[in-house]
Amino acid sequence: MPQRRSRWLPSLMLTAALPVIAYAEGPEYGPQLQGFEYPYTVKHFDFQSQGKTLQMGYMDVAANGKANGRSIVLLHGKNFCGATWDTSIKTLSDAGYRVIAPDQIGFCTSSKPDNYQYSFQQLATNTQQLLKALGIQKATLLGHSTGGMLATRYALLYPDQVEQLALVNPIGLEDWKALGVPYRTVDQWYERELKVTAKGIRDYERSTYYDGRWKPEFDRWVDMLAGLSKGPGKTQVAWNSALIYDMIFTQPVYYEFKDLKMPTLLLIGTSDTTAIGKDLAPPEVKAKIGHYPVLGKQVAKLIPQSTLVEFPGMGHAPQMEEPAKFHQALLAWLNKTDTLR
């Protein structure tokens, strides 16, 4: 399948004012992110789930150079896609890994079903079916943000199939509902998601993910999300997004970190303040949630074979913010745990 290609900006023949308006509006993408360019060829895995035929988009990138015979699966976050792993895919492929980067159902290049009962167990099962179809019996999991919750659930469901587990600023290091964050219904999430804009995404990520900082290269990922949210499948996208937010809020993995059986790495950017529903929380609750310098240390103590690596001053996505520092730490841990196996 050919690589996806971005839509070109309007002709430079337009007046000077029009390109500014076009940029402000940004691109629009199809319900499975048609029109957005991925760094590697996107394939689709067709499978049956909950009485539906669904497609899971994924990238399968072979080792570049000397292969080490191992596979690593990259699990994206809620406001991310497989494409946002671009530098990690290249780094890990160059290090000898076969790299699988799927888009989960409800996200990005994958199906957005009308009625789907979302659970981390279901998404883990979907991913396990994909890996089985690809002939992968064991793998290392690398999960970011919501993908960290999914990777944890996968490791709990299929412990014999997970060699190593690495979690990058995973959400779910605390149980927000138990801490007093008010519940937002699926309908309320849906109304909120229908109003998503590029500016809103950028402002949220700048303040919550990056401690007020921003890099121009992040704009591509803002356009990716905003273009999906306002494209021809915007109601499908918003509804699935609402269901996924409800899943994240109501299905904590926090209480089961103690049950993880494999070597686990926590990679924590300490300036992150992400907490689902924080905008609804009263001041006294808001003040005590989303403190990653504290959460990383607390959860590291819960996981039997854990290693904690902190990135002081970095935010929610250290693999995107400072790729070289992040990948140096990740590869050092992977190589160390490899020698101990």
Domain harbouring 102, CATH code: 3.40.50.1820
Q: Is the pLDDT of residue 7 over 90?
A: no
CA dist 72 and 177 (Å) reads 32
Sheet strands side by side (includes 162-168): 43-49, 52-61, 98-102, 71-75, 139-144, 162-168, 264-269, 306-311
> pLDDT class for 259, splitting at 50, 70, 90?
very high
How would residue 103 be classed by pLDDT, with cut points 50, 70 and 90? Answer: very high
How high is the pLDDT of residue 339?
Answer: 61
pLDDT surpasses 60 at 137 = yes
Instruction: Please compute the mean of the pLDDT values over residues 248-273 and round it to a whole number.
Output: 98
Q: Is residue 9 part of a domain?
A: no
Residue 17 pLDDT exceeds 80: no
3-state secondary structure of 310: strand
**Percentage of residues of the chain with pLDDT beyond 70:** 91
The whole domain housing 97 covers 31-340
Residue 23 lies in a domain: no
Q: What are residue 40's phi and psi, to 5 degrees?
A: -135, 165
Q: Does some domain include residue 3?
A: no
Query: pLDDT-derived band of residue 341, with 50, 70 and 90 as boundaries?
Result: low
Q: Tell me, yes or no, whether 18 lies in a domain.
A: no
Q: Is the pLDDT of residue 19 over 50?
A: no
What pLDDT, on a 0 to 100 scale, did the predictor assign at position 307?
A: 98
Mean pLDDT estimate for the chain: 92
Please give the pLDDT value at position 6: 41
Indicate whether 149 belongs to any domain.
yes
pLDDT in tens, 148-164: 999 999 999 999 999 99
Per-residue model confidence (pLDDT) at position 65: 78
Q: pLDDT grade, residue 169 (50/70/90)? A: very high
For the segment 21-72, what is each residue's pLDDT rounded down to a tens digit?
Answer: 334 568 999 999 999 999 999 999 999 999 999 999 999 999 997 999 999 9
Residue 233 lies in a domain: yes
pLDDT over 90 percentage in the chain: 90
Q: How far apart are CA 146 and CA 341, in angstroms?
A: 28
Domain membership flag for residue 13 = no
pLDDT of residue 26: 87
The helix (run of H) or strand (run of E) holding residue 88 is: helix 86-94
Q: How far is CA 226 from CA 24, 48, 104, 195, 200, in A?
A: 11, 29, 18, 10, 9
The residue that leads in pLDDT, 22 or 194, is 194
> Is pLDDT above 90 for 205?
yes
Of the pLDDT bands very low, low, confident and very high (cuts 50, 70, 90), residue 340 is low
Alpha carbon separation from 6 to 59, 220, 240, 286, 310 (Å, rounded): 17, 11, 24, 39, 35
Confidence of residue 3 (pLDDT cuts 50, 70, 90): very low
Q: Is residue 242 assigned to a domain?
A: yes
What pLDDT, on the 0 to 100 scale, is given for residue 199?
Answer: 96
Domain count, the chain: 1
